[in-house]
């Protein structure tokens, strides 16, 4: 049968080899099986096996499964009046091991010896969870509600497709809705003009979505912590958010701009938590909005000032949190074409190298860089240790020490020691000497030496430091309302330097994958009276981002955004060039 | 293998010497006759045994059939079965089909598959294993894709010994493969066979195939494909000739409840009358004397109890609030997800009034949930029951023990996976079928097992209660379906005829008929009264896992492994619709209460809605049985498709108000 066996297609006609017959025969104590006999056996066993499998497939189908299980084979044996195999369990993967010798190759399943004592004394396996019944609406009058129990209405792939080619969305919309007459007329007009126009993708929100947006944004920045966590969970899990994503992105971006100027630490923290939730939502195609989110997050990492009282408030936690967000962004979205990680690293190291930048910014830059991994620490932080040390020394031990500088210096010092020591431990060979450390790292040498030697003594497993959890103690959030404009702005608005860096970061490297062509983006946020939020975008491009906030003109100077939500976010005077200085034209 | 080939070679040489000239029709004829004369002397006794040799002018190899029982006959058979001839003859037949006119081509091509199978089996049977395999490899690729499954099964049979006890073999050897053909095509075929005089081929066609000739235009390839696919070919037309009383029982519900209400409870008198009037307004067309309806006494049905009447009254009341589902007014779907079931759920069923959901699991357990706020309760113990005043109005309520109320109850008793459960109309009983070969009847008042019905010897795939209670029917791996009554421990009827597993079973709304779907890819309709098969419906290309009658009883929907839903008109057994769109096995079908919409669900995690009223409306005129189904089967009737996250849909069910319920186990990958 060997010749036809070769000819047969493997799918339908695979057959057991007579060598395996011999091996199996030996394993049950029959030696010297004749070739002829083993050939016949092989054929017959193959036939019986195939029959068994055919029966087992029936059992699988009736068991409503896609996967054949050992129980199916057992039951198939039972149907055929064959004694089933005992003691086979069903691990997902059956590891076969290979052994060869004496010119034969054998695959076998390793059977480990088990100590019964261990089995008896060992902890019992967990009881599987009880089967439970849960009801939800799969569809309501033909519409599938966007709830976590249902699949996302627009899959991530489709979102991506739409972001690359907005015309897909436009055409999809058109398929669903009949074209209004005006549009047809316009189309005719267009055809006459023979000008190739890009199709506009409109983002219209339904009334429910507007309500949801309002509720969520209110809850996220409101005073009620339980509502906030609910809202954040909703952001992190709900499948149907992609329609509102541009708004959330704008909300966060604008919110950060405003609140950095206002030094409102609490709100900045809330906004960062929103970013975190959005990033955790697997159903969202976030790439399209990174050009808004990254600058906002980076601002919270390296901004000169993030709170009213830098000496008291814990803005360090915010910087750490935002730094982790940045690291997560890099991990999730960085590709060789958009080079997010490179650009972020460049920007952070530029801050670190800027002698004039305040210590707080340096702290942020160090945290941000450290989150990107030990390689980054090695390349960007360690060479700066000496300079940084000198700076801290001069600021904390000099004659004119103010408390802010002293606290900042301490924070950087502890942060540096904490972050750098594990890396130093791996790159430096023992024995360590204090003198060498002092020689190489200056002011911080002594501390680093102590920390590294301490680390060396600890067992390797415990050396990884536990990350601080994201519990942020913060002052009561202040809602900035337009009327409180005057009172809440006693300080001179500090120009957030970081916006320049972040925008320049984007300006320098054009052509992220989400940027087809270069044009401008307008976010038009209408007044509260109109019911729909309409953002008309030619195409989304971070290369030349112009954020124009179109509002009512009666509030001269003060510019409000997002008027469909309560006005708790206030744009400072338009003379504040820090917000809009990245206008390129 | 050397031994085999050397064995076959001399035979081949023999065959060549005797049959070498046989390609020439005249010589073949002469030689065969000569051989027969020669052999007569040696095997005279044998030939007498083979008395059914027909005295046609062409000799026949009748032996093959009898040989399966009589091994001595093998020798005579062998000498004729030259393996090389099979290949030639098959190629010859193929060429004839290809060269024939386009009009006949489709019908003639239907011959190829059965001839191929029979030739292969003859080769294998006569020990020409190598030749058989070469033959198989050469031609199996050309067969229709929907025979793929059978071909795979066929390919496992490579030795004579394998043929015994093989289910597929038995069906091929015991039943004739049916091919429906127009008279013109048949004439073409006859002419070809007469010209060629290929004994082998002629024998196969005459003995193993049944050619059902009709007068009319030859069908196109497409038309044939739609109805072919069955394990034994298409259904014979005679099989579907008998009359099926598909109408509903003579307004059984209303009349009975009316009459009985008049007799029994006077206070309910005006109520049902009102209902009746409104009922008539509803779209359900219930003519007073439906000529197609069986009489209410055709089979004995249990009398309605008071509680049943109240239930019926409720049903009517609810039906009045029914929503009409149309393309514009789509239904809402409430989905019941079974969580933490670890791929263990084997069946889900929802009671007629949508208040109870039962599920069978592969660990032999049945769980019953209440879908309403009313919890499930046990009946009180005998002592406690004694103390209840039996004349109180709410005696039924008092019988129940509130201390035992719970969200769900578990029923243990089977010893294998529970493949199906079914709830009786009055919600007092549940029947379940299991891999252990038993059907069990459970009481939902005491939550205990009442009867264990042993009869099937193999796994019981499906079980269903009659819509009138009392009866239930089961379908099993042993290729039979059985009808049981709750008060008999032995089956009342055994429906045998399917060639493979009976995978699904369903009662007709009038309880007089039972439909079964099988792995032999046919749907059969059985008369409960006589136990005979009254319809054979072919067209599926895979095992049939679910069946559902339309509420008016005239149509049947079936679906299964082939991902296609087929709609049948029971009046004449024709295919009236084909609904394609699912991408996985379909395990559930459900008609809306007005019969206008069909919902389906399956392994592709999708609930789909189909506007079947369109199909039925176009079918209102009684079709002519002789004219083959000529329906536009490509029209798309789907008007809704709802994906779940990762939940196969094992159950769909319309409530009395036409809210769609669906259910399945959450199985993340």
**Do A80 and A101 have their domain in common?**
yes
A65 touches chain B (CB under 8 A): yes
Among B640, B641, B660, residue whose Cα is nearest residue B652: B660
Interchain proximity A61–B585, CB inside 8 Å: yes
**Interaxial angle between packed helices B2-19 and B25-42, expressed in degrees from 0 to 180 and rounded to the nearest 10:** 110
B512 touches chain A (CB under 8 A): no
Binned at pLDDT 50, 70 and 90, residue A200 comes out as low
Interchain proximity A75–B459, CB inside 8 Å: yes
Q: Given a cut of 70, is residue A64 above it in pLDDT?
A: yes
Strands A96-101 and A104-109: antiparallel
A151 touches chain B (CB under 8 A): yes
Residue-wise DSSP of A185-240: HHHHHHHHHT---PPPEE-PPPHHHHHHHHHHHHHHHSS-HHHHHHHHHHHHH-S-
Residue-wise DSSP of B3-48: HHHHHHHHHHHHHHHHHGGGGSHHHHHHHHHHHHHHHHHHTHHHHH
In a domain, A149, yes or no: no
CATH number, domain of A222, equals 1.25.40.770
**Do A302 and A232 have their domain in common?**
yes
Interchain proximity A36–B3, CB inside 8 Å: yes
pLDDT for the residue numbered B603: 92
Which positions 519-538 of A are in contact with B (Cβ < 8 Å)?
none
Buried b (16+ CB within 10 A) or exposed e, B284-322: eebeeebebbbebebbebbebeeebbebbbebbebbeeb
- Residue B431: beta bridge partners? B422, B441
List phi, psi (to 5°) of B177.
Answer: -80, 125
B153 touches chain A (CB under 8 A): yes
Among B191, B160, B182, residue whose Cα is nearest residue B173: B160
- Sequence-ordered list of residues with C-beta below 8 angstroms from that of A264, at least 6 positions apart, any chain: A307, A477, A478, A480
- Sequence-ordered list of residues with C-beta below 8 angstroms from that of A106, at least 6 positions apart, any chain: A23, A98, A99, A100
Binned at pLDDT 50, 70 and 90, residue A47 comes out as confident
- From A86, A107, A128, give the residue that closes a domain: A107
- Residues in A touching B337 (Cβ below 8 Å): 133-136, 149
In a domain, A137, yes or no: no
**Do A230 and A335 have their domain in common?**
yes
> Range of A101's domain?
2-107
- Burial class, B462, CB count within 10 angstroms (exposed 0-12 / middle 13-18 / buried 19+): buried
- Domain coordinates in residue numbering, chain B: 2-234, 252-320, 335-377+408-620+635-665
B1 touches chain A (CB under 8 A): yes
Query: Looking up tokens 């597929």, which residue turns up?
Result: B168
Q: Given a cut of 60, is residue A191 above it in pLDDT?
A: no
How many other CB atoms are there within 10 angstroms of residue B382's CB atom? 7
Interchain proximity A47–B417, CB inside 8 Å: no
Distance from CA of B333 to the nearest CA of A (A): 5
Distance from CA of B411 to the nearest CA of A (A): 14
In a domain, A179, yes or no: no
pLDDT for the residue numbered B589: 94
B162 touches chain A (CB under 8 A): yes
pLDDT for the residue numbered A258: 87
**Do A384 and A364 have their domain in common?**
no
**Do A303 and A227 have their domain in common?**
yes
B337 touches chain A (CB under 8 A): yes
Buried b (16+ CB within 10 A) or exposed e, A436-465: ebbeebbbbbebbbebbbebeeeeeeeeee
Q: What is the mean pLDDT of residues A105-116?
A: 79
Collect contacts of B274-281 with beta carbons under 8 A, ≥24 apart: B275/B313, B275/B316, B275/B317, B275/B320, B278/B316, B278/B320, B279/B254, B279/B316, B279/B319
- From A436, A468, A500, give the residue that closes a domain: A468
**Do A358 and A397 have their domain in common?**
no
**Poorest-confidence range of A119-133, A397-411, B2-16, B102-116?**
B2-16
Among A12, A47, A131, the residue to mutate for chain B (most B Cβ within 10 A) = A131
Interchain proximity A50–B156, CB inside 8 Å: yes
Q: How many domains does chain A have?
A: 3
**Do A214 and A363 have their domain in common?**
yes
CA distance A141 to A1: 62
Distance from CA of A35 to the nearest CA of B (A): 10
Interchain proximity A131–B361, CB inside 8 Å: yes
Q: How many helices (H) and strands (E) does chain B have?
A: 20, 31
- From A406, A437, A468, give the residue that closes a domain: A468
Tell me if B64 sits within 8 A of B118, measured CB to CB.
Answer: no
pLDDT for the residue numbered B262: 40
A130 touches chain B (CB under 8 A): yes
B478 touches chain A (CB under 8 A): no
A13 touches chain B (CB under 8 A): yes
- Residues in B touching A67 (Cβ below 8 Å): 343
CA distance A158 to A177: 19
Both tokens of residue A114? 């088990």
**Do A216 and A323 have their domain in common?**
yes
pLDDT for the residue numbered B454: 92
Interchain proximity B155–A13, CB inside 8 Å: yes
ipTM of this predicted complex?
A: 0.80
Cis, bond preceding A431 (omega within 30 deg of 0): yes
**Poorest-confidence range of A165-179, A315-329, B148-162, B417-431?**
A165-179
B494 touches chain A (CB under 8 A): no
Average pLDDT, chain A: 71
CA angle A63, A64, A67 (to 5 degrees): 85
**Do A258 and A368 have their domain in common?**
yes
Tell me if B405 sits within 8 A of B377, measured CB to CB.
Answer: yes
By C-alpha distance, the chain A residue nearest B358 is A133
Binned at pLDDT 50, 70 and 90, residue A61 comes out as very high
CA distance A553 to A34: 100
- Residues in B touching A71 (Cβ below 8 Å): 362, 417
pLDDT for the residue numbered B483: 95
pLDDT in tens, A560-582: 333 343 333 333 433 433 444 44
Q: Given a cut of 50, is residue A518 above it in pLDDT?
A: no
CATH number, domain of A83, equals 1.10.20.10
CATH class of residue range B2-234: mainly alpha
- Burial class, A21, CB count within 10 angstroms (exposed 0-12 / middle 13-18 / buried 19+): buried
Residue spans of chain B under pLDDT 70: 1-81, 165, 167, 250-289, 619-634
Tell me if B411 sits within 8 A of B429, measured CB to CB.
Answer: no
**Per-residue CA distances from A447 to A391, A576, B429 (Å):** 16, 42, 79
Nearest to B338 among A13, A50, A131 (CB): A131
A134 touches chain B (CB under 8 A): yes
Among A188, A85, A131, A326, residue whose Cα is nearest residue B338: A131
B406 touches chain A (CB under 8 A): no
Q: Given a cut of 50, is residue A523 above it in pLDDT?
A: no
Distance from CA of B382 to the nearest CA of A (A): 32
Which positions 226-245 of B are in contact with A (Cβ < 8 Å)?
none
A282 touches chain B (CB under 8 A): no
- Residues in A touching B371 (Cβ below 8 Å): 133, 135
CA distance B374 to B331: 25
pLDDT for the residue numbered A409: 82
Distance from CA of A85 to the nearest CA of B (A): 16
Q: How many CB pairs under 8 A join A and B?
A: 157
pLDDT for the residue numbered B140: 82
In a domain, A254, yes or no: yes
CA distance B220 to B628: 10
- Outline where B248-328 has alpha helix (H): 252-263, 270-281, 306-320
Q: Given a cut of 70, is residue A208 above it in pLDDT?
A: yes
Distance from CA of B401 to the nearest CA of A (A): 23
Please give the CATH superfamily to which domain B335-377+408-620+635-665 belongs: YVTN repeat-like/Quinoprotein amine dehydrogenase (2.130.10.10)
**Interaxial angle between packed helices A315-333 and A359-371, expressed in degrees from 0 to 180 and rounded to the nearest 10:** 40
**Do A350 and A415 have their domain in common?**
no
Among A35, A47, A53, A64, the residue to mutate for chain B (most B Cβ within 10 A) = A64
pLDDT for the residue numbered B6: 37
Torsion A546-A547-A551-A557 (CA) sign: negative
- Residues in A touching B662 (Cβ below 8 Å): 138
**Do A459 and A487 have their domain in common?**
no
Distance from CA of A498 to the nearest CA of B (A): 43
**Do A381 and A304 have their domain in common?**
no
Residue-wise DSSP of A23-79: HHHHHTT--S--HHHHHHHHHHHHHHHHHHHHHHHHHHHHTT-SS--HHHHHHHHHH
Query: Looking up tokens 């549940």, which residue turns up?
Result: B430
- Sequence-ordered list of residues with C-beta below 8 angstroms from that of A309, at least 6 positions apart, any chain: none
A150 touches chain B (CB under 8 A): yes
Interchain proximity A47–B331, CB inside 8 Å: no
């Amino acid at each position: 049968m060997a010749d036809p066996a070769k000819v047969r297609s493997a799918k339908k006609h695979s057959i057991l080899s007579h060598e395996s017959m011999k091996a199996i025969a030996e394993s049950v104590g029959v030696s010297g099986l004749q070739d002829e006999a083993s050939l016949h056996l092989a054929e017959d066993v193959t036939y019986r096996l195939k029959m068994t499998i055919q029966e087992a497939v029936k059992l699988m189908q009736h068991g409503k499964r896609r996967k054949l299980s050992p129980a199916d084979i057992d039951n198939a044996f039972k149907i055929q009046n064959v004694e089933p195999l005992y003691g086979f369990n069903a691990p997902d993967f059956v590891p076969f091991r290979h052994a060869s010798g004496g010119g034969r190759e054998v695959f076998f399943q390793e059977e480990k010896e088990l100590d019964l004592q261990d089995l008896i004394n060992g902890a019992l396996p967990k009881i599987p969870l009880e089967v439970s019944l849960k009801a939800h609406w799969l569809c309501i009058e033909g519409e599938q509600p966007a709830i976590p129990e249902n699949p996302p209405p627009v899959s991530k792939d489709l979102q991506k497709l739409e972001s690359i080619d907005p015309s897909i969305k436009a055409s999809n919309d058109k398929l669903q809705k009949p074209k209004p007459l005006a549009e047809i007329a316009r189309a005719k007009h267009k055809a006459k003009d023979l000008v190739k126009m890009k199709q506009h993708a409109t983002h219209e929100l339904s009334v429910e979505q507007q309500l949801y947006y309002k509720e969520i944004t209110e809850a996220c920045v409101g005073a009620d912590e339980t509502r906030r966590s609910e809202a954040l969970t909703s952001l992190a899990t709900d499948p149907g958010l992609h329609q509102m994503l541009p708004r959330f992105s704008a909300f966060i971006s604008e919110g950060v701009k405003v609140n950095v100027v206002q030094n409102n630490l609490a709100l900045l923290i809330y906004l960062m938590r929103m970013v975190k939730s959005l990033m955790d939502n697997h159903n969202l195609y976030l790439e399209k909005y990174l050009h808004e989110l990254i600058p906002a997050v980076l601002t919270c990492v390296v901004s000169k000032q993030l709170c009213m009282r830098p000496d008291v408030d814990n803005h360090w936690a915010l910087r750490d949190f935002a730094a982790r967000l940045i690291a997560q962004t890099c991990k999730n979205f960085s590709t060789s074409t958009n080079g997010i990680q490179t650009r972020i690293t460049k920007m952070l190291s530029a801050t670190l190298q800027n002698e004039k930048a305040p210590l707080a910014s340096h702290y942020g830059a160090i945290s941000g860089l450290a989150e990107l991994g030990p390689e980054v620490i090695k390349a960007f932080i360690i060479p700066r240790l000496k300079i940084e040390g000198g700076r801290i020394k001069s600021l904390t031990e000099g004659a004119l020490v103010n408390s802010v500088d002293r606290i900042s210096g301490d924070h950087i010092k502890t942060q540096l020691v904490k972050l750098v020591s594990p890396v130093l431990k791996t790159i430096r060979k023992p024995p360590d000497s204090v003198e060498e450390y002092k020689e190489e790292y200056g002011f911080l040498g002594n501390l680093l030496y102590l920390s590294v030697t301490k680390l060396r003594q600890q067992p390797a497993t415990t050396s990884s430091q536990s990350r601080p959890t994201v519990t942020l103690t913060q002052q009561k959030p202040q809602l900035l309302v337009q009327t409180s404009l005057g009172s809440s702005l006693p300080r001179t608005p500090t120009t957030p330097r970081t916006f320049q860096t972040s925008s320049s970061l984007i300006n320098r490297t054009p052509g992220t994958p989400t940027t087809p062509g270069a044009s401008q983006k307008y976010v038009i946020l209408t007044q509260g009276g109109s019911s729909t939020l309409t953002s008309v975008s030619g195409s989304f491009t971070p290369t030349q981002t112009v954020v124009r906030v179109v509002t009512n003109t009666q509030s001269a100077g003060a510019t409000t955004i997002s008027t469909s939500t309560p006005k708790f976010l206030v744009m400072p005077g338009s003379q504040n060039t820090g917000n809009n200085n990245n206008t390129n034209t | 293998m050397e031994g085999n080939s050397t064995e076959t070679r001399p035979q081949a040489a023999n065959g060549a010497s005797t049959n070498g000239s046989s390609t020439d029709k005249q010589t073949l004829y002469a030689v065969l006759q000569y051989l027969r004369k020669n052999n007569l002397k040696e095997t005279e006794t044998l030939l007498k045994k083979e008395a059914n040799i027909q005295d046609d002018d062409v000799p026949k190899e009748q032996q093959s059939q009898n040989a399966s029982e009589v091994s001595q006959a093998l020798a005579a058979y062998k000498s004729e079965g030259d393996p090389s001839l099979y290949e030639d003859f098959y190629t010859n037949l193929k060429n004839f089909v290809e060269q024939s006119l386009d009009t006949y081509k489709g019908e003639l091509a239907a011959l190829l598959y059965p001839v191929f199978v029979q030739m292969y089996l003859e080769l294998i049977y006569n020990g020409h294993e190598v030749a058989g395999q070469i033959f198989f490899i050469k031609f199996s690729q050309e067969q229709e894709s929907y025979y793929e499954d059978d071909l795979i099964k066929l390919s496992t049979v490579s030795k004579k010994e394998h043929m015994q006890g093989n289910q597929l073999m038995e069906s091929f050897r015991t039943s004739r493969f049916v091919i429906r053909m127009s008279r013109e095509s048949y004439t073409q075929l006859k002419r070809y066979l007469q010209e060629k005089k290929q004994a082998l081929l002629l024998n196969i066609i005459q003995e193993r195939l049944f050619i059902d000739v009709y007068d009319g235009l030859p069908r196109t390839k497409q038309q044939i494909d739609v109805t072919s696919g069955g394990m034994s070919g298409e259904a014979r037309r005679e099989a579907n000739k008998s009359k099926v009383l598909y109408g509903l029982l003579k307004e059984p519900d209303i009349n009975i409840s009316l009459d009985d209400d008049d007799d029994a409870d006077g206070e309910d008198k005006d109520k049902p009358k009102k209902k009746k009037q409104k009922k008539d307004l509803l779209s359900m067309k219930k003519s007073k004397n439906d000529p197609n309806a069986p009489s209410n006494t055709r089979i004995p049905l249990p009398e309605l109890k008071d509680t049943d009447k109240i239930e019926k009254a409720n049903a009517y009341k609810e039906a009045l609030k029914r929503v009409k589902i149309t393309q514009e007014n789509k239904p809402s779907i409430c989905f019941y997800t079974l969580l933490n079931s670890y791929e263990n759920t084997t069946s889900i069923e929802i009671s007629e009034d949508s208040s109870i959901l039962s599920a069978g699991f592969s660990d032999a357990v049945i769980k019953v949930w209440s879908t309403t706020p009313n919890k499930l309760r046990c009946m009180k113990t005998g002592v406690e029951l004694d103390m209840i005043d039996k004349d109180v109005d709410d005696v039924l309520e008092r019988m129940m023990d509130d201390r035992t109320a719970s969200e769900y109850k578990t029923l243990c008793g089977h010893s294998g996976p529970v493949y199906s459960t079914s709830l009786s109309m009055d919600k007092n009983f549940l029947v379940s079928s299991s891999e252990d070969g038993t059907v069990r009847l459970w009481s939902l008042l005491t939550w205990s097992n009442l009867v264990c019905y042993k009869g099937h010897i193999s796994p019981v795939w499906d079980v269903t209660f009659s819509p009138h209670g009392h009866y239930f029917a089961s379908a099993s791996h042993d290729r039979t379906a059985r009808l049981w009554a709750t008060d008999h421990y032995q089956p009342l009827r055994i429906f045998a005829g399917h060639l493979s597993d009976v995978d699904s079973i369903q009662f007709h709304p009038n309880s007089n008929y039972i439909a079964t779907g099988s792995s032999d890819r046919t749907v059969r309709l059985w008369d409960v009264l006589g136990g005979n098969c009254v319809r054979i419906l072919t067209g599926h290309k895979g095992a049939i896992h679910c069946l559902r009658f339309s509420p008016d009883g005239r149509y049947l929907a079936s679906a299964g492994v082939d991902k296609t839903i087929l709609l049948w008109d029971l009046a004449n057994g024709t295919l009236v619709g084909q609904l394609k769109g699912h991408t996985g096995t379909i395990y559930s079908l459900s008609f809306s209460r007005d019969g206008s919409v069909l919902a389906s669900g399956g392994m592709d995690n999708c609930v789909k809605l189909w506007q079947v009223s369109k199909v039925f409306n176009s079918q209102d005129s009684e079709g002519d049985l002789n004219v083959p189904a000529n329906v536009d089967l490509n029209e798309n009737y789907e008007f809704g498709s709802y994906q779940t996250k990762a939940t196969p849909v094992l159950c769909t069910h319309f409530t009395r108000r036409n809210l769609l319920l669906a259910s399945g186990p959450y199985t993340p990958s």
